Amino acid sequence: MSKRPSKAASRVTAANWPATSNPIPHGANVVLGFHGLMCFCFRRSHSDKNCEVGIHNNSDAHNLSITVYKVAPSFDPPYDMDMCITPQTQPYAGPYRKAQTGSLKGNIVRFDVNEPRVSGVQFFQSGPGPRSHPDNFRHILDLEHDFYPGFTLPKKPHHMGPRLRINHGLFYTLCKSETQFERVEVASPPGGPSVHIGSVARMVGTNIYLENDGDVTLKMSGAPDKTLKAAEGKFFVLIDNGCKACPSNEFPLYYDTFDPPRGDPRVFDLNKTSTGTGSLAPGSPCEIFLPQVNSLLKELGTILSTDDAPCGAAGFGISGSLG
């Protein structure tokens, strides 16, 4: 039986994102795209060494959907991100919602990769700083590196469910914000100095590379298994835990998933330091991709969060488990 994190969480220094700085390979067969409130963690403390994603389940405004689309053979994130779809494009599978996935920490949704061409779980990190490369995975809001540096945070595991597990894949930022942010202390009167965060991930991606006879099998308790075969073409899996009308800032909702450690009981928020124009730099692959995602989300009954209020992922970059 696993031991729950101590409320007096100790300081540690080892990062827990197995990193690669090699250029992201071309030719992923299956791409997962994550949007909305969810927490990433590398299961270093477990024998499977999967990446686990806990879906924030403590807000009635957010509802998980997992939808599979067949996309153009030229779709090659993060380089060519035109899926060649329209609002009328029908899902290949799904949408799967909580009736199929469940919403508890014990409900597991698996992306089982068979015959991978690139093995294991890796997180793309390149450049002199965690946000120096536009595709760097570390654009996510790392609750342990960016907000409580060096602490393993006490989790509220029942507020993260279902749990998604991926056994092979390269994780990176699909699209980052133009808007810049800073970490500020919530206190009255105002507390300590702000800390620059910079751009944050609007969407996280996972590239899965398969041998010719490989596949990815999507498994959950409330629906038949669905197998995505390399021989059948390319697939995009949209994993959304967004909302129909998001408020201006949803970062405080992440305090539903953890407690501040006793060694640093401060509470933080995000503050905009500069606002993006709302239009991406000409030539950015996201200039085509994000409007396509938005059209898919509208069909699912939610919206794409805005650049200056991204409903993006967080992570626990030191912990080896979500608890």
- pLDDT for position 282: 57
Coil, strand, or helix at residue 133?
coil
Per-residue pLDDT of the chain (323 residues; tens, 9 = 90+): 333 333 333 333 346 899 999 999 999 999 999 999 999 999 998 999 999 999 999 988 889 999 999 999 999 999 999 999 887 789 999 999 999 999 999 999 999 999 999 999 999 998 777 777 999 999 999 999 999 998 999 999 999 999 999 999 999 999 999 899 999 999 766 667 889 999 999 999 999 999 999 999 999 999 999 999 999 999 999 999 998 877 678 899 999 999 999 999 999 999 988 765 444 555 789 999 999 999 999 999 998 998 888 888 999 999 999 99
**What pLDDT does 190 receive?**
64
Looking at residue 132, its pLDDT comes to 78
Does the bond joining 149 to the residue before it have cis omega, within 30 degrees of 0? no
- What residue segments make up the domains of the chain, in order of their start? 19-315
CA dihedral sign of residues 205, 210, 215, 221: negative
Q: What is the pLDDT of residue 189?
A: 63
| Token pair for 307 | 């650049």
What does the DSSP assignment read for 135-161? T-GGGSEEIIIIISTTBPPPB-GGGEE
**pLDDT, position 188:** 63
Q: How far apart are CA 204 and CA 219, in angstroms?
A: 21
